[in-house]
A and B are shown apart, each in its own frame.
Chain A
Amino acid sequence: SQQGEEDPQALSIQEGENATMNCSYKTSINNLQWYRQNSGRGLVHLILIRSNEREKHSGRLRVTLDTSKKSSSLLITASRAADTASYFCATDGGSNYKLTFGKGTLLTVNP
């Protein structure tokens, strides 16, 4: 399976702290994407990193990709209570559109 696996399954931190979530996958990819989902809502695209990129930033988000280890990490700096959500990585397995999602990391940021 080319399914991404997020780690940890759940993470609880205090506001202002940094949150790091990891994703591992099994097959080669063209790109890896991170999405956020607030409880019972749709997913929101956060960032896309291509297989030839190693690091990407967007605001308080920093994503790294290590294709040799088939892993990625998402760092959220200076977390806020509004960052409380589930975070998913999605890999394309070379298809560009057929995304495979992991089970997600539930992040809770306590005020």
Chain B
Amino acid sequence: ETGVTQTPRHLVMGMTNKKSLKCEQHLGHNAMYWYKQSAKKPLELMFVYNFKEQTENNSVPSRFSPECPNSSHLFLHLHTLQPEDSALYLCASSQDTGGGYNEQFFGPGTRLTVL
């Protein structure tokens, strides 16, 4: 175990549904990340939070809405998704986003299928 947990592990939703993905890290880190991993494509960085402040939004559509209530928890709220949004969504954390040379610790991911 990496110290980063994600729930649910699998999610199937219709295009009109609203759901949320949850990530929790038990490592005392201050930075958290959302990534999207689609088949045959490189891992894509979506959002970055450092000390609860969003520092990166990588041109992600507004149907994905992140929330970081504290340094240990990160949510990704989903609404009116498209079938092409089906992917493995990975959460990661690191000590912070400054100071250099930070390895990232990943959760097991949520496999999302949009029907």
**Measuring CB to CB, which residues of chain A are less than 8 angstroms from any residue of chain B?**
3, 30-31, 33, 35, 40-45, 48, 50, 88, 96-104
Contact = CB atoms under 8 A, between A and B. Distances in A.
Given A97-B31, A102-B42, A42 B100 contact: no
B54 to A, nearest CB: 13
Interface residues of B, number: 31
A99 B88 CA distance: 17
Contact of B42 (A44, A45, A97, A101): A101
B94 interface: yes
Interface of B: 2, 4, 6, 31, 40-43, 45, 48, 50, 56, 88, 90, 92, 94, 96-109, 111
B99 to A, nearest CB: 7
A27 to B, nearest CB: 15
A42 B43 contact: no
B88 A3 contact: no
Nearest to A33: B103
Given A40-B111, A97-B48, A103 B40 contact: yes
